[in-house]
Structure 1
Amino acid sequence: MPYARNLSGIEIRGNAKDWWGKARNAFGRGNEPVVGAVMSFRATGGMPLGHVAVVSDIVTDREVIVNHANWHRNKVSLKMGVRDVSKHNDWTLVRVESHPGRYGSFYPVNGFIYPKVDE
């Protein structure tokens, strides 16, 4: 989480699974990816603490590029693709590029947490 916090400027602490709830009154949240937003993954059996990744580029309305830490244990992963495979194109279910050109399992997503914009 320190990597996502430092990269995005979103000052939330604690396990990734708690970021979505903690962001409720402090940051904007939604289902539209934007560069700099944090993608909040739900906790699952295989990922009990959840996960967070920072959007670095928008490829299409159903694919983004993210940077994140610990997708592969103790490593930072840069420029990994994430595809929206949700039934309603709302980013609630994704597949992550585990290795270049290879997309893995399905992962549920809460949505995106948006960094505060300087006024």
Structure 2
Amino acid sequence: MRRARPSSRRLLRLTAAALLVAASLGAALPAHARSLLDYVGQCVPFARAASGIQIYGDAWTWWDQADGKYDRGHRPKVGAVIVFTKTDRLRLGHVAVVSRVVEKRVLMLTHANWSRQNGERGHAEQDVTLYDVSPHNDWSVVKVWFRDSDGLGGSIYPVEGFIYGKGRSAAELTSRDPDYVGALIDAYVPDAGR
């Protein structure tokens, strides 16, 4: 009889832990969001839900919080979270998830709360072009596609690096047929779409 109690307690703890994980993932996206791409809100809950990386707090704090919990580096990998540095323009920083690596200086990311859609911020965007403009190709400074200007924005953003998750990223992270050619044109042919 004594053996049954620890098993029951262990089962209860495992069930409680599973419910907490499910609740935290479900809480990351609003109930009305049918999919990851229906999300409207801040970049942090979106990146957490899309990547599986369980870090909380403002985007600029993610890099330091990941130390010792997740691998970090300066090479893009699908499913990794890129952490933008806190600046005057990005007062809380920004986080986004790598959806495709196109070539050594161009990748695509999926994120929320960057461009305006229908006049409001917060919407999710899939397979957005990100261009490494660092002098040493180390992803320390980047330009990001900005829907408002229909091209790479004129701003250059400093980046801390990439946080690599331990699990699987969301299935909707990338589209079936991303526009690789468009991403390369965005990066290497300024004002091509205008």
TM value normalised by structure 1: 0.95
- Mark the structure with the bigger radius of gyration: 2
Matched, 1:17 2:60: yes
Query: Using the alignment, how far apart are the partners of 1:56 and 1:2 within structure 2?
Result: 17
Choose the corresponding residue for 1:106, options 151, 156, 163.
156
Structure 2 counterparts to residues 43-54 of structure 1, below 5 A: 43-54=86-97
Whether the 8 Å contact between 2:71 and 2:165 is mirrored in structure 1 is yes
Structure 2 counterparts to residues 69-88 of structure 1, below 5 A: 69-72=112-115, 73-88=121-136
Structure 1: which 5+ runs fail to align? none
TM-superposed CA distance for 1:75, in Å, is: 1.1
Structure 2: which 5+ runs fail to align? 1-43, 116-120, 169-194
Query: Using the alignment, how far apart are the partners of 1:27 and 1:70 within structure 2?
Result: 24
Percent pairwise identity: 47
Say how many residue pairs are matched: 118
Query: Using the alignment, how far apart are the partners of 1:74 and 1:59 within structure 2?
Result: 25
Structure 2 counterparts to residues 88-99 of structure 1, below 5 A: 88-99=136-147
3-state SS of paired residue (1:29):
strand
TM-superposed CA distance for 1:84, in Å, is: 0.3
Query: Where in structure 1 do 4 or more consecutive aligned residues deviate above 3 Å?
Result: none
Q: Quick one: which amino acid aligns to residue 94 of structure 1?
A: V
TM value normalised by structure 2: 0.59
TM-superposed CA distance for 1:96, in Å, is: 0.2
Higher relative contact order (CA 8 A, sep 6+): 1
What is the CA deviation profile of residues 28-80 of structure 1, one whole-angstrom value per residue up to 9, with x for unaligned ones? 00000000000000011011100000000000010110000101222111110
